[in-house]
Amino acid sequence: MKALQRNIPFLATLSVCVLLYMAAGVKYEGFFSARVLLNFLSDNAVLGVAAIGLTFVILSGGIDLSVGSVVGLVSIVLAILVDGTGLPPTLAIALVLAGGTIFGAGMGTLIHYYALPAFLVTLGGMFFARGLGFMIKLESMPITKLNAIVDGMTVSLGERYELPATALVFLVLLALAIGVAHFTRFGRNVYAVGGSEPSAVLMGLPVARTKVGVYALSGFCSALAGVVYTFYTSSGNPTAGTGLELDAIAAVVVGGTLLSGGVGLVAGTLIGVLIFGMIQTIITFQGNINSWWTRIIIGLLLLAFILLQKVIQSKKLRTH
């Protein structure tokens, strides 16, 4: 019963997602096709990968505003490394992923050891990464040398369908992230720190390592999202991921993770991202709605879920 109560936000999100999918499937011809479903995954892979990293940060009670800017920075750096310097693509990808991880760990260090507000530090990180990206190169540049990797990672599903590399990265990361969150010591520590940091300290949990690790993980995921973006568009673009941090926060919250930390599921973030993608796809299918409704509807969904969380929290307080 208790497990059920804790997962009410997730269950609510799941039912919204299923209802939305059913309603759209009934209303629009061709919505139920496997192709549309595969497109959900590949079109939202950048958002999804970034949101998975952010889920850990939010679970630990923090926030990371730098994800979008890191996507842009990684995308342009990767393009230059591969096309400009002729580095082997796999080595270049490993380099940018390591860079993103170090960047995140640096922010985590500032946040934990100097007790700085996560909001401001990652805001600084956001400005820094975006500015650096623009200073490296102002325009987007096409790259073709990654195509071999992208083709190599495409999984064929029967004769007619294939799982694009971007969707594959998203799904593999999702599986790994669920494993890390629920079956490792690090994952348990993240929940403990988010639930109550002083208690975690008193229990002797490695709070410093966990907090720095969470931001490093988010930096890694943002960098991976940048790589996915570069795969998806076959180009490096310093403006990539503008505003992505907000979409990612929205996806995590709609996915049932409490912004106060400690409660939530990585799987919920997948549902949040799918709802995000579905609303966009429905607006495309409808054809005559202004695409700006996407943002308004996301705002309304955010509102609904936040109020739902409030209701659950206040009930919890009363039962205690």
Partner 1 sequence: MTRVFRTVTWRKLQWPLLALALVLLFNLAFTKDFFEFTVRDGRLYGSVVDIFNRAAPVMLLALGMTLVIATGGVDLSVGAVMAISGATAALLITKADPGVPAVIAASLGIALVAGIWNGILVGVFQVPPIVATLILMVSGRGIAQLLTGGQIITFQNRALEFIGRGSFLGLPFTMTLVLLVFLIVVFLQTKTAAGLFIESTGDNETASRYAGVNTRAVKLMVYSFCALCAGIAGLIVTTNIAAADANNAGLWLELDAILATVIGGTALTGGRFYPLGSIVGAILIQTLTTTILTKGVPVEFTLVVKAVVIIAVCLLQSEEFRKLVWRRKVAA
∠ CA 289-292-298, rounded to 5°: 105
Which H or E element spans position 313? helix 293-319
Does position 284 interact with partner 1 (CB under 8 A)? The reply is no
With beta carbons less than 8 A apart as the criterion, state whether 74 and 223 touch: yes
How would DSSP label each residue in 46-62? HHHHHHHHHHHHHHTT-
Specify which residues 236 forms β-bridges with: 141
How would DSSP label each residue in 4-53? HHHTHHHHHHHHHHHHHHHHHHHHSTTTTSHHHHHHHHHHTHHHHHHHHH
| The two structure tokens encoding residue 70 | 């890191």
How would DSSP label each residue in 146-211? THHHHHHTPEEETTTEEE-HHHHHHHHHHHHHHHHHHHSHHHHHHHHHHH-HHHHHHTT--HHHHH
* Near partner 1 by CB under 8 A: residue from 90, 139, 300, 316: 300
Residue closer to partner 1 by CB (options 210, 309) is 309
Residue closer to partner 1 by CB (options 231, 276) is 276
Q: How far is the CB of 293 from partner 1 (least distance, A)?
A: 7
- Output the CA torsion 73→51→126→218 (10° steps): -80
With beta carbons less than 8 A apart as the criterion, state whether 47 and 278 touch: no
Residue closer to partner 1 by CB (options 61, 89) is 61
Stretch that binds partner 1, among 12-20, 42-50, 113-121, 219-227 (CB under 8 A): 113-121
Does position 186 interact with partner 1 (CB under 8 A)? The reply is no
| The two structure tokens encoding residue 102 | 């170090």
Does position 78 interact with partner 1 (CB under 8 A)? The reply is no
* Near partner 1 by CB under 8 A: residue from 81, 93, 278, 298: 298
Does position 203 interact with partner 1 (CB under 8 A)? The reply is no
* Near partner 1 by CB under 8 A: residue from 89, 125, 164, 187: 125
Does position 139 interact with partner 1 (CB under 8 A)? The reply is no
Q: How far is the CB of 144 from partner 1 (least distance, A)?
A: 27
Q: How far is the CB of 300 from partner 1 (least distance, A)?
A: 7
List helix spans (H) across 196-265: 197-202, 207-233, 244-254
Specify which residues 141 forms β-bridges with: 236
Does position 286 interact with partner 1 (CB under 8 A)? The reply is no
Stretch that binds partner 1, among 84-92, 157-165, 196-204, 300-308 (CB under 8 A): 300-308
Stretch that binds partner 1, among 21-29, 34-42, 89-97, 244-252 (CB under 8 A): 244-252
Residue closer to partner 1 by CB (options 137, 188) is 137
* Near partner 1 by CB under 8 A: residue from 56, 128, 229, 231: 128
Q: How far apart are CA 300 and CA 306, in angstroms?
A: 10
Residue closer to partner 1 by CB (options 109, 233) is 109
Does position 130 interact with partner 1 (CB under 8 A)? The reply is yes
With beta carbons less than 8 A apart as the criterion, state whether 195 and 76 touch: no
* Binding region for partner 1 (CB under 8 A): 63, 110, 113-117, 119-121, 123-128, 130-132, 134-135, 138, 246-247, 249-250, 253, 259-260, 290, 292-296, 298-300, 302-303, 306-307, 310
